[in-house]
Structure 1
Amino acid sequence: MPRNEGDTFETAMGRRRLLKGAAAGGVALGLAGCAGGGGNSDAVTVPGIYDESGGTSDVGRPAAIGSRDTIAYINENDLLSREIDHPNEDYAYEVPEAQQLYQEYTSGDEPPMIIGWGTADTEALSGTVAEDEIVYISASYSANLVTEETPYNFFGNLDYTSQARAHLKWIADNDPGAKIAFIFSNNPFGQAPVEGGKQYAEELGLEVGSDINLPLTANSATTQLRQARDGNVDYLIHQNTSAPMRVLLQDKADVYPDVTVCGLTYTVDERVVSESPDLFEGVRYVNAFKTFQGALDSDGLGADIIEANFEREDRSMDNPEVAQLNYVRGVIHALLALKGLQNTIDNGDDLTGPNARNGMFGIQNDDMEGLAEPYTYEEGDRRPTMTGRLFEVTDGSLSFDTTVELPRRDEWIGL
């Protein structure tokens, strides 16, 4: 696809392509979902650990596809002065499997970066990642991953707790005195925003109800909704994936239709909204990057990448199984890897983990080629943004509502 002449990052990439010369053109990499990747000896290896069949695969699979597609685009369009080799596997949301894959990917020459996935596995690997000094870009937005104890972890979104804080700030501004409660799966992913979120709710003067557990594998939410109803909860802050969100909403109409559900980043996407528009009507949602259509409308390099990816793979943009915001999430992960690596090369450094980490700090006020709120990483603060984009499901679509700017409090790091 043609790209915009005015794009600064693209212009820089064009200069690098000219410097490389014609001999570097035409590089292509087969990115099948299996360990091994390509075979270019000059390539930089960036492995992937994805959930495409496990408990979070409803959102994990399109994200994995987005990352693989974008790495293919990076290689085909010569955006980096070295090819990216991307061996990747499905770990099915099993922590031991993720740990085994990590050992396989790091048993020889250690890669400077890895693209990972979930909270339980990312947190379990964080100590090893720090010891091995490998940048780990994951889809876990746990505040635990931006502390001094986890110096090699990076992510591209508002952290989970601050996603909840964005909802809470909106509630306090629009319905002061309301009662809220957290509903979540009882695992590290589900628990991540609860304690810090409740503290902020109390600070805002909101009444806080009892915690409610809704497992990832739930097939009914009747008991949970009765608990919310009996507790006179006005807003449920929901940390889960889209599958249990659908279960919650299916039972909400009969048990407690008056409660408003505020979903965090993995609870809502275009696929589930299009499949069940009446169920999702009125649901509120938060994210720091754009929906699939919002990404296309951004008219930047990010939009060009997505369009080119779908054209290359002969995918339909009318198929929300892939054409959805979780695909955009995967594109952003690949762009973070690209930018960190490119900054490392621009610094004149070898592509090692410590140098790549330093390269990540070169990402400053960067909107991911039009796909997100601007991200900035600092040595003492790896929270990429404190801006929440709030949406409401209206007439079968995710409609952007407003942004919430949260204070960048040091005491919130890790909470």
Structure 2
Amino acid sequence: MKRSRWSKISTVVASSVLAIGLLAGCGGGEEASTDSADGGSSGDSAKVVKIGGIFDESGATGDVGAPYAEGARAYYEYLNANGGFDGYQIELVGEDYAYDISRAQQIYQSLRDRHKVPAIIGWGTGDTEALRSQIINDEIPFISGSYSENLKDTGSESGFNYLTAASYSDQGRAVLEWIAENHEGDKPARVALVYQEGHPFSESPMADLKAYAAENLAGVVELTPDILIELGDTDPQTSLQSWARSNEVPDYTIINYTWNQTRNVVRDGKRLGWDTQFMGLNWTAGEGLIPTGSDNQQWVDSLDGFIGVVTHAFPFEDLPGMDPIKEYLDSKGKSIEDINQKFVQGWTSASIFGEAIRIAIEEKGGDITGLDVKAGMESINDLDLGGLGSNVSFSPDNHAGTDKIRLGQLKDGQWEIITDYFSFSDLK
């Protein structure tokens, strides 16, 4: 039932240098105080520019949210230490909302009314989608750790949201195409979607994946009934057993959780003897999927062979864009062993927003507005991230920076990149 095989492609190191440079954001050209902000401050006479931050560092997705926030803060601190942009230092005013949508709303209002930020780095799907109408009314451009397909809309619903990596739906479409090209055997590939029903993040791409499989992969990929497991269910074996009583074990699973729940599902599936290729979208992948501690080897064995979507580089990759990160870490007495892939993801996302703000400052001077940042964002074309992520482009009609992903696989506890960047349309 398989189509012509797509040959496996290896990792390619970008040949160009990181194009972002020393950037900063702007919140109205204030004078710096003697108090240090998230992004740092160089002294009383420095002009301060602001960006808001709404992070999950201690809530339900804090396992990946905390290093993401750390990377975003580190990027702006690095800029300040290197002079900022055109005399401006950046002040990243960020708070932990602990994955509480009502708390995210409170922080947003403070960022808008007290700090008057012209741009915000947010986090979750539920809170980002809940804030859509407000950021449009307030004209505040917004990026986040959510890659919900809904945020690609450039019209009235999401006109100030921007995706800095492939949407969850585009990630899943690419995984389905990869499965179709690599599945062996005469029968269609049986694929189960694993998520929490009703959870804005976990369920986000699932309807799109079902539609894509039906419209493009009929007879090649066969979706099974969904496997529905709550993120807080730390012992999902019972749910998996119950599902398997009525269904044939799938050839593949596509999981959309963060590290903590992903590892539980894979562990329990293997305990039940499932001969399944476990796969997941981008928040399932990364070093934190394997916990450290006395039982580390058990997790290494349980998770061996897992394949995850990799939207951003691992610290161990020899890429031009890693040089500023290494320089920053060295200034702190640290090394790449002290960070993980989600730190790189936060750093890279912050740098994309930085480029938009750099353009706005260049065009308007220090006293910029959200509309100036929006114009800067929509003028970004094929921005080279030094290999830290797929190049991104935006326009008034395109708020999705890219649809490209890579795939990585765990082998003996280490991540290996098994594909180059590709999109689902490359394999159709």
TM-score with structure 1 setting the length: 0.86
Alignment partner, residue 208 of structure 2 = 196
CA contact 1:183–1:238 (8 Å) conserved in 2: yes
Whether 1:335 aligns to 2:351 is: yes
What does the per-residue CA deviation read over 1:205-229, in whole Å, with 9 as the maximum and x for residues that have no partner?
Answer: 2111112222221211213322554
Residue 120 of structure 1 aligns to which amino acid in structure 2? Answer: G
Distance across 1 between alignment mates of 2:324 and 2:230: 36
Within 2, Cα distance between the matches of 1:386 and 1:396?
28
Residue 41 of structure 1 and its aligned partner are, at CA, apart by 7.5
| Residues 213-267 of structure 1: per-residue CA shift (max 9 Å, x gap) | 2222121121332255442221111000000011112212221431111111111
How far does residue 13 in structure 1 lie from its aligned partner after superposition? 5.2
Instruction: Give the counterpart of 1:160 among 165, 168, 174.
Output: 168
Which one-letter code corresponds to 1:312 in the other structure? S
Superposed, which structure 2 residues align to 1:7-86 within 5 Å?
A: 7=17, 9=19, 30-32=36-38, 42-81=47-86, 82-86=88-92
Task: Kindly indicate whether residue 190 of structure 2 is the aligned counterpart of residue 179 of structure 1.
Answer: yes
Within a 5 Å distance, the mapping from 1:253-268 to structure 2 comes to 253-268=270-285
- Residue equivalent to 2:151: 145
The DSSP-based 3-state class of the residue aligned with 1:87 is strand
User: What is the CA distance between 1:391 and its match in structure 2?
Assistant: 1.3
> Contact 2:42 / 2:80 at 8 angstroms: preserved in 1?
no
Instruction: Please state how far the C-alpha of 1:172 moved relative to its aligned partner.
Output: 0.6
Q: Which amino acid aligns with 1:317?
A: I
Aligned partners of 1:338, 1:120: CA distance in 2, in Å?
25
| Percent of aligned positions that are identical | 30
Write the distance in 2 (CA, Å) between the matches of 1:174 and 1:227.
29
Give the Cα separation in 2 of the matches to 1:33 and 1:306.
15
Asked whether the 8 Å contact 1:229–1:256 carries over to 2, the reply is: no
Give me the whole-angstrom Cα distance separating, in 1, the residues matched to 2:44 and 2:168: 38
Output aligned runs, 1:352-391, within 5 Å.
352-391=369-408
- The equivalent residue for 2:424 is 406
How far is the alpha carbon of 1:130 from its aligned partner?
0.9
Paired residue secondary structure (2:290): helix
Partner of 1:48, secondary structure, is strand
Count of paired positions: 384
Q: Aligned partners of 1:142 and 1:257: how far apart in 2? A: 30
User: Pick from 212, 216, 222: which aligns with 2:237?
Assistant: 222
CA gap 1:180/1:337 in 2 versus in 1, 3 angstroms: same
Equivalent residue letter for 1:178: A
Structure 2 CA distance for aligned equivalents of residues 191 and 261 of structure 1: 18
Q: CA separation in 2, counterparts of 1:215 and 1:44?
A: 41
* d(CA) in 1 for partners of 2:57, 2:259: 14
For residues 40 and 271 of structure 1, what CA distance do their matches in structure 2 show?
A: 41
Task: String of CA shifts for 1:42-101, please: whole Å, max 9, x gaps.
Answer: 312101111111000000000111011111001111242221111111100000000000
Q: Deviations over 1:282-308 (max 9, x none)?
A: 1111132212212xx10x2x3122112
Q: Structure 1 pair 247/7, CA: closer, same or farther in 2 (3 Å)?
A: closer
Q: Distance in 2 between matches of 1:352 and 1:119?
A: 25
* 2: CA distance, partners of 1:228 / 1:156: 36
**Is the contact between residue 37 and residue 87 of structure 1 (CA under 8 Å) also seen in structure 2?**
no
TM-score by length of 2: 0.83
1:184/1:238 contact within 8 Å kept: yes
Mapped contact 1:344–1:359 kept (Cα < 8 A) = yes
- Which ranges in structure 1 are unaligned for 5 or more consecutive residues? 1-5, 17-25, 409-415
- Partner amino acid, structure 2, of 1:286: V
Counterpart amino acid of 1:190? S
Measure, in 1, the Cα distance between the counterparts of 2:373 and 2:74.
22
CA distance in 1, matches of 2:231, 2:42: 32
CA-CA distance at 1:7 after TM superposition: 4.1
* Backbone CA RMSD of aligned residues: 2.7
Residues 374-398 of structure 1: CA deviation (Å, up to 9, x unaligned): 1111211211112120111112111
Q: Which of residues 188, 204, 207 is equivalent to 2:222?
A: 207
1:28–1:72 Cα contact (<8 Å) kept = no
Q: Which structure's residues are more often helix, by fraction?
A: 1
User: Greater relative contact order (Cα 8 A, min sep 6): structure 1 or 2?
Assistant: 2
Partners of 1:51 and 1:40 in 2: how far apart? 33
Q: Is the 8 A contact 1:281 1:393 kept in 2?
A: yes
